[in-house]
A and B are shown apart, each in its own frame.
Chain A
């Protein structure tokens, strides 16, 4: 299959954002994924979220690995540069891109095979470097593109389409990310746009490493009744720990807070994350509490979703390295090359 351009149809009634753009301006090429694939729903949520928070499309860089999920960046924000790299190595490419220009927004898109199998090492190290990016895992528990083999996130005993149960324990990317020091960790479901959209917005505004692990059923290979990554199962066992609302800086209205249930978290850039806690025991600013919430749900066969963990002390690799606030890729050569007169002293040292 080759590239399919999407016909541009402009509806005069489409809502425009602060840049005068509509959702259509955040779309990409026509998706070539299977009809009903969870990945397309995540793409749709990304399009709406980016539009609604007024991101200039061309100031986004989309980077992915290999897989059905990693193809998704072609299907949103065509005015943004994209980079479909190699299998499991999106984090390193994103690290380099971010080092070169810290002013863009980096959306990393990956699959569960891409991240939890071949790319587990790169994932872990991007987390611990606190790379400022949104890392989206379109998690279907299988390798879609190579026809449905189990991936490392597939639950133990969850059967394949042909019925063979998975003999291995899953890697829980959210638990792993929390343990490794990610600043923002959320889990959601491709079928729950109302939950997913504000999480995407908040993750983009978070200055640091933000993981969105989105369960995204593979309708072709892993969506049968017994699969724990299918629509039916996740709809029935989804346990939202909280509801998140994202309020950008300029729209902020200080609403009355219902004590004990709603909490505002002010992000680095002035916007607000409004958290409506559904589970009073879960404190998203406490890593242990977050891990317990995930594990206790998993023990009951449930999937904890929502904002699982948030470190309000946002940290970023550039701060650690002490790099200049200006993008390195825009630095004039005259500032980078020390010039001939500096050489005299250097040569003298070797004399």
Chain B
């Protein structure tokens, strides 16, 4: 199936060796040739010296999910030679540094050796420079093997080094070393290679965390508090760096405040304090941070305070696989905290939605007066995805929710902070400092009546809980509607997925169609579920629920909250921490079908 503009190249390197930038230069170059790419960084939880892989898939057909099997392995790490050799598909290629020649025990692949270290030692004296440029030598060699346009490569290198000739020069020299060697010694190009294409034209290549950070800027967020944790850190870093470009006045005043807090408890406390006081505020974290934040999330839910929490999920339980991806915080987020607590969740599927859903998240938080959790993951957050350019409609109005200003308070009769005036379960709030003698109230996590007064009266407590439940029904009508993709008229099988599973699922549907199997897809984008979710389940005989966790957490949520019968929902689960592939989805769906058919009878 591999061929021109359709292949996977994997770079096996050592982290901290400067390979990351060389690898991303390669991905960007293929992308700039107009070829759709997806790049997955498979990195260790370590700073220097451990194996790391960077996988680039090119797909002229436009599939941007990960694909199994490596066509060309660039094996630059002796520690992992064995597994790297095993990963190459039959008929594939392995490129390595043959300064120390070795026998590769596989007859069904082609091994391409280049004495990179030797060549570099002759060329550069400074060991640091030698180390960094070595990476560009293999990029050069690979670029010739794959017939990559030199002009495009040079353009990317020039952008990478900010146009500084002093850096561009040596890097291009290194590229030339690789290119010349490959042209002279190998059969170039390989059958898998690139050509100019149009699938990536006009697109951008970006990570979800950059997109979400930018989205928070566009959403008008002004207060951010956080505690560093992979894979969410780069989201806050992006927010701060965009703010420093876009949110500083001519006099140098910052229209934002970012606090690196002492821990996640403090981070969410800051966000809630700011949300209570009328600023758009957020924090970003990953699973362990969500666990720490749960007491405050309950307070935010019950005291009805807007804020946004980005959870860029990683592999659990506990510290788990901190640099791998999973969707295993679904229930922890939906029900974070003790008591009858539930949260509004948004599920972006790619960086494009990380951007657009940010504004939605802040609008919803203020409309519904509650914490809104944006559930992303490491795959979306830290890998580069090809998506449509970000768009912003200047006519968009922000929903700041039901906030009474001084004039409105003067007009209002009988203000009560937790009174349901409109029947939608959403009360009116006031901000501190608004009016000299109207609208002040006491915010508390203890039980309160409609006027925000402390109460231990059980009927009042139950009444307030019922009203918040009503508010949740309103939320179900406001969260982004699910995406539905038809697998062809009359498909009896349905498939539900969310978040980063989308590209793999879409590709699997395409493959299944060629197998003669039609499946409709519904991609959940928000919780509480809109009516379309239960309707989709009702309209299909059985529904596969594809998710990246062991315990079928979304399936549980569908059973609990959308009233879908458990027998109808067939789990398809991947939880090895690697981004999902179409092949995995297809295989497991096929495997699950006969048993499912029996179960349905």
Q: Of A74, A99, A101, which one neighbours B432 at CB under 8 angstroms?
A: A101
- Residues 163-206 of A, flagged 1 when their CB comes within 8 A of B and 0 if not, give 00000000000000000000000000000000000000000000
Whether A251 is near chain B, meaning CB under 8 Å from some CB there, is no
CB of A56 within 8 A of CB of B436, answer: yes
Q: A2-B455, A329-B222, A343-B390 are in contact. Are A97 and B259 (CB under 8 A)?
A: no
Q: Which one of A78-86, A241-249, A255-263 is at the B interface?
A: A78-86
Which residues of chain A are within 8 angstroms of B275 by Cβ–Cβ distance? 96, 100
Q: A92-B265, A325-B253, A328-B279 are in contact. Are A336 and B247 (CB under 8 A)?
A: yes
Which residues of chain B are within 8 angstroms of A86 by Cβ–Cβ distance? 269, 295-296, 299, 445
Q: A2-B457, A339-B394 are in contact. Are A322 and B277 (CB under 8 A)?
A: no
CB of A99 within 8 A of CB of B443, answer: no
- Residues 309-331 of A, flagged 1 when their CB comes within 8 A of B and 0 if not, give 00000000110011111001111
Give chain A's interface residue range (CB within 8 Å of chain B): 35 or more
In the complex, residue of chain B having the shortest beta-carbon distance to the beta carbon of A103:
B433
- Residues 86-106 of A, flagged 1 when their CB comes within 8 A of B and 0 if not, give 100101111111111101100
CB of A74 within 8 A of CB of B394, answer: no
Q: Of B254, B271, B436, which one neighbours A324 at CB under 8 angstroms?
A: B254
CA–CA, A1 and B455, complex, Å: 7
| Total contacting residues, chain B, CB less than 8 A | 78
CB of A323 within 8 A of CB of B256, answer: yes
Q: Of A104, A336, A351, which one neighbours B220 at CB under 8 angstroms?
A: A336
Whether B214 is near chain A, meaning CB under 8 Å from some CB there, is yes
Q: A92-B265, A322-B252, A336-B247 are in contact. Are A80 and B432 (CB under 8 A)?
A: yes
Whether B435 is near chain A, meaning CB under 8 Å from some CB there, is yes
CB of A121 within 8 A of CB of B263, answer: yes
Considering the complex, which residues of chain A in the window 1-60 have a beta carbon less than 8 Å from any beta carbon of chain B? Answer: 1-3, 29, 56-59
CB of A82 within 8 A of CB of B443, answer: yes
- Residues 233-273 of B, flagged 1 when their CB comes within 8 A of A and 0 if not, give 00000000010001101001111111101110111111111
Whether A63 is near chain B, meaning CB under 8 Å from some CB there, is yes
Whether A333 is near chain B, meaning CB under 8 Å from some CB there, is yes
Which residues of chain A are within 8 angstroms of B449 by Cβ–Cβ distance? 3
Whether B440 is near chain A, meaning CB under 8 Å from some CB there, is yes
CB distance from B467 to the nearest CB of A (A): 18
CB distance from B4 to the nearest CB of A (A): 23
Q: Of B204, B222, B267, B281, which one neighbours A350 at CB under 8 angstroms?
A: B204
Q: A125-B266, A337-B218 are in contact. Are A96 and B272 (CB under 8 A)?
A: yes
Whether A347 is near chain B, meaning CB under 8 Å from some CB there, is yes
Which residues of chain B are within 8 angstroms of A91 by Cβ–Cβ distance? 266, 269
Which of A63, A97, A101, A317 has the largest number of chain B CB atoms within 10 A?
Answer: A97
In the complex, residue of chain B having the shortest beta-carbon distance to the beta carbon of A96:
B273
CB of B279 within 8 A of CB of A95, answer: no
Q: A3-B453, A92-B265 are in contact. Are A97 and B436 (CB under 8 A)?
A: no
Whether B22 is near chain A, meaning CB under 8 Å from some CB there, is no
CB of A92 within 8 A of CB of B249, answer: no
CA–CA, A84 and B445, complex, Å: 7
CB of A74 within 8 A of CB of B454, answer: yes
Q: A3-B453, A82-B442 are in contact. Are A329 and B253 (CB under 8 A)?
A: no
CB of A333 within 8 A of CB of B220, answer: yes
CB of A343 within 8 A of CB of B442, answer: no
Q: A58-B434, A99-B270 are in contact. Are A85 and B225 (CB under 8 A)?
A: no
Considering the complex, which residues of chain B in the window 382-401 have a beta carbon less than 8 Å from any beta carbon of chain A? Answer: 389-394, 398, 400
Whether A308 is near chain B, meaning CB under 8 Å from some CB there, is no
CB of A93 within 8 A of CB of B276, answer: yes
Which residues of chain B are within 8 angstroms of A99 by Cβ–Cβ distance? 222-223, 257, 259, 270, 273-274, 279, 281
A-B contact list, 16 entries, CB within 8 Å: A56-B436, A63-B273, A81-B442, A82-B441, A84-B444, A92-B273, A95-B273, A96-B276, A100-B275, A121-B263, A122-B265, A124-B262, A321-B254, A322-B253, A323-B257, A328-B279
